[in-house]
């Protein structure tokens, strides 16, 4: 795998590598993002973050908030397969945003370099004055940092954090949240008594080769039948020849 670009900033080392048409971002040795414009659906974790969108009816996802841009692989997937009217990507690391633009080809979206907690708090304050303009149809919480070369959540998904995301969510919108493990998801605010009863739709999604567990949450029902109809063949759980071997489980 060829090294395309590298940068050392204080204690952080950034690398962009490619293998054929595939480009990858590494931060301190942690694999953050991967994108191949000619073959975007390869069965990766980023496609697992994309898959839940197809629980929703076509054209319902107009405004998207991505918390944790990395190299921008998920943004590129959303632009290719969902085509929302607006995508806002938030990342505290300006070098990630620079890589997203320069090497991953992220264009036509609003990229904000700030702490996600600050951004969410400000948008929640704005929602008091104008809830409709502050609402998103899809919120992806993929906020991961790294410690000793191991990826871990950067913000705890406790009850206040989950409530804040729900404040920014449209009535039939969807939150997709990445966790380091199923145990971490089950211990989160999403599964607590203050939030769980208000969610008619709640699923988890996992891949065999990853410890990560994706939480999928909505105030509205999330019928698997619609997902099976709408999801692209390469990631569709109903397709025996799919590339994404996702395990979907309804959360009770």
The pLDDT of residue 146: 64
pLDDT of 92 > 70? The answer is: yes
The answer to whether domain 38-250 has CATH 3.40.50.150 is: yes
Cα separations in angstroms, 200 against 38, 52, 112, 151 = 37, 15, 31, 31
pTM score over 0.85: yes
Domain spans, the chain: 38-250
Q: pLDDT digit string (tens) for 20-63?
A: 999 999 998 888 899 999 999 999 999 999 999 999 999 999 99
> 51: closest CA among 209, 172, 226?
226
Instruction: Please name the helix (run of DSSP H) or strand (run of DSSP E) that holds residue 168, with its range, or none.
Output: none
pLDDT band at 65 (very low <50, low <70, confident <90, very high): very high
Residues 6+ apart with CB under 8 A from 19: 1, 2
Over 80: is that where the pLDDT of 165 sits?
Answer: yes
pLDDT digits 0-9 by tens, 138-153 = 999 999 876 665 678 9
């Amino acid at each position: 795998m060829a090294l395309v670009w590298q940068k050392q900033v204080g204690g952080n080392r950034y690398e962009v590598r490619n293998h054929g048409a595939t480009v990858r971002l590494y931060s301190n040795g942690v694999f953050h993002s991967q994108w191949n414009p000619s073959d975007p659906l390869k069965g990766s974790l980023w496609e697992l973050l994309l898959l839940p969108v197809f629980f929703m009816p076509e054209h319902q996802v107009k405004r998207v908030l991505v918390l944790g841009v990395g190299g921008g692989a998920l943004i590129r997937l959303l632009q290719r397969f969902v085509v929302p009217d607006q995508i806002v990507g938030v990342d505290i690391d300006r070098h990630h945003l620079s890589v997203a633009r320069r090497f991953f080809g992220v264009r036509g979206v609003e990229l904000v370099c700030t702490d996600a907690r600050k951004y969410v708090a400000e948008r929640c304050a704005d929602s008091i004055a104008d809830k409709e303009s502050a609402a998103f149809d899809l919120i992806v919480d993929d906020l991961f940092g790294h410690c000793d070369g191991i990826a871990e959540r950067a913000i705890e998904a406790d009850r206040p954090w989950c409530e804040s995301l729900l404040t920014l969510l449209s009535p039939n919108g969807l939150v997709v949240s990445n966790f380091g493990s199923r145990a971490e998801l089950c211990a989160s605010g999403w599964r607590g008594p203050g939030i769980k009863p208000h969610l008619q739709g709640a699923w988890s999604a996992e891949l065999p080769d990853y410890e990560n567990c994706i939480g999928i949450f909505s105030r509205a029902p999330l019928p698997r039948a619609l997902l099976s109809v709408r999801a692209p063949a390469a990631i569709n759980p109903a397709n025996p020849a799919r590339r994404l071997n996702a395990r979907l489980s309804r959360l009770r």
